Amino acid sequence: MSNARRALCLLLALSCSGCATVNVLNSKKTDPPLVYGGTRLDWYAMHDGCCAQDRFGALPPAYPSVDLPFSLLLDTLLLPLSLAAALGVTLVVSGGN
């Protein structure tokens, strides 16, 4: 097996624990931290924070240090939407006709 395939298999296995950003956005909590929520959840887990479920509405991934750069990227891409949601701006989007 080539090194690229091994790396891909390792990344797929690690991603089974979930992405912190996706976990926070899918949480059932009424007011989860939206702005860089996944990055903050990873950082919180890496520094032995307790009660992540209560604070973020989601459990951190099994390997938060591996997930951190990916959550940072996704949180940055979603920053305009998360800022709008945090400020209470409602975005009405309609499609078609």
Domain positions in the chain: 16-87
| Cβ neighbours around 63 below 10 Å, total | 15
pTM above 0.85, yes or no: no
pLDDT value of position 13: 58
| pLDDT per residue as tens digits for the range 10-31 | 666 555 557 888 888 888 888 8
In this structure, are residues 44 and 55 in contact, taking their beta carbons and an 8 Å threshold? yes
Q: Which ranges of the chain have pLDDT less than 70?
A: 1, 9-17, 96-97
pLDDT value of position 35: 93
Rounded to whole angstroms, the Cα distance separating 38 from 83 reads 14
Cα of first residue to Cα of last residue in the chain, in angstroms, is 51
Average pLDDT, the chain: 84
